[in-house]
Amino acid sequence: MHIKIEKKEFSETVHIAARFAERKSATLAALSSILIITGDDGIKLRATNLETGIDLKLSGEVVSEGVVAIPAVILQQIASSLTGEGKISLEHTGDIVTITSGTGKSSIKTVPYADFPSIPFPENPKNRIIVPGVLLKNLFTAIASCASNSTVRPELASIYLAIEGGVLTAVATDSFRLAEKKVPLSNSGTQGKFLIPAKNALEIAQALSDDEIIVSFDEHQCAFVSEKGMLVSRLTNAVYPDYRQIIPKESIVEAVVLRKDFESALKRSTIFSDTFQKIRISFDPKKNNFAFFAKNADIGESNETLPARVSGSALELSFNHRYLSAVLGLTQAESISLTAAGIGRPLIIRGMNDTSLLYLVSPMNQ
């Protein structure tokens, strides 16, 4: 095999692909490598850790065809050291790959590529939707943090994606709070739902291009295909809890506050939160304000009162402040609405004029 590629493109592609290679060295050597394939489809870079996989196209000049596997870490280090314009050449002879860039020349030992697994594509291509990459990217990065870190319940460590009536709904919860975000789709024919491990979704989000992306899925596997290439992830095979049940249907009080007030007041109160990261919020409909209160025996206490439009009855609830501030990453709306259904019942936070988001957080015991 012998190929010539623009340095910049090579470097970018290698960085993306390397993220998908297995980082644990104890496993199969082929899994911690990047596979470079040149054939009728041009040049392709492949990597997989058996959870996710990537197959990227690369434009370049193919002198001769062939396949080679190179340790991802090495290739990544080389790629990040490339500077300036110009082309890089990779030539494979025996079990050595020679990389020539400008004046430099390095030889790398290759890995037997026979062990490199094939990257599975969903079997039923009928389940597919087209979404702008940038949307999907934001969706995954915003919502993945709400999923559980523990793998004890694989369904909670996953993002639930449901496609129904031309809307893509993404849900993540760790049983203390829940985030639901909706994205309109251009084509409305497809229906379906799947669970993608949140960890994988984050990885994929970082590798997605901003262009239109075809998402296809079956029972066990999903793929994100763009012009640049294909990303796949295994799916969680579990039943997602019926989260709609826990969303309170009635409310006793609602407050609308400015996002920037909310953000800075919360930030200051956080300093005074105790070891349980507890912050108390109170709704006061008479004075029309919304307040944070935090007390730490070692530091002191703080009281923050924000002007708000409050309607309903007075109420006090306590929350983990991390769960409150998380909502700020989920919506860009200027004002935030907080709806409470009573003591011991979850609080719903939405962005004003942002119907796409629903954020639910359970209160702490008082």
Binding site for another protein (CB under 8 A): 26-29, 31, 48, 50-51, 53, 115, 117-120, 154-155, 219-221, 234, 236-238
User: Three-state DSSP class for 8?
Assistant: helix
Which has the closest alpha carbon to 318: 284, 363, 256?
363
> At 305, which amino acid appears?
T
CB of 117 to another protein, least distance (A): 5
The one-letter amino acid code at 143 reads I
Residue 107: count of CB within 10 angstroms of its CB: 12
- Of 9 and 51, which has the nearer Cβ to another protein? 51
Alpha-carbon distances of 119 from 106, 157, 225, 231, rounded to whole Å: 29, 23, 13, 9
DSSP percent split of the chain into helix, strand, coil, nearest 5: 20, 45, 35
Quick one: 22 or 180, whose CB is closer to another protein? 22
- Closer Cβ to another protein, 50 or 96, answer by number: 50
Cα-based distances in Å from 16 to 144, 207, 251, 314, 328 = 19, 6, 46, 51, 28
| Least distance in angstroms from the C-beta of 306 to another protein | 43
The Cα–Cα gap between 181 and 171 comes to: 7
Considering the complex, what minimum distance in angstroms separates the CB of residue 218 from another protein?
8
- Token code pair at residue 304: 């923050």
Name the residue nearer to another protein (CB basis): 147 or 279: 147
Token look-up 């702008």 returns 132
Instruction: Pick between residue 99 and residue 119 the one whose CB is nearest to another protein.
Output: 119
CB of 157 to another protein, least distance (A): 9
Residue number with CB closer to another protein (109 or 287): 109
Sheet arrangement for strand 33-39: 66-71, 33-39, 42-48, 52-58, 229-234, 221-225, 212-217, 128-132
265 Cβ neighbours under 8 A, 6+ residues apart: 292, 304, 306
Contact (Cβ atoms closer than 8 angstroms) between residue 280 and residue 266: no
- Residue closer to another protein (CB basis): 26 or 297: 26
Of the pair 32, 226, the CB lying nearest another protein is at 32
Q: Least distance (Å) from another protein to the CB of residue 233?
A: 9
Q: What is the DSSP string of 111-170?
A: B-GGGPPPPP--S-TTSEEEEEHHHHHHHHHHHHTTS-S-SSSTTTTEEEEEEETTEEEE
Closest CB to another protein among 171 and 336? Answer: 171
From the CB of 36, what's the least distance to another protein, in Å? 20
> Nearest approach, Cβ of 9 to another protein (angstroms)?
28
Please identify, using beta-carbon distances, which residue of 44 and 181 lies nearer to another protein: 44
From residue 34, give the alpha-carbon distance in Å to each of 45, 223, 283, 339. Answer: 7, 19, 56, 50
First and final CA of the chain: distance in angstroms?
67
Q: What is the CA radius of gyration of the chain?
A: 25
Cβ 93 to another protein, closest distance in Å? 24
Shortest separation between residue 116's beta carbon and another protein, angstroms:
10
User: Closest approach of Cβ 120 to another protein, in Å?
Assistant: 4
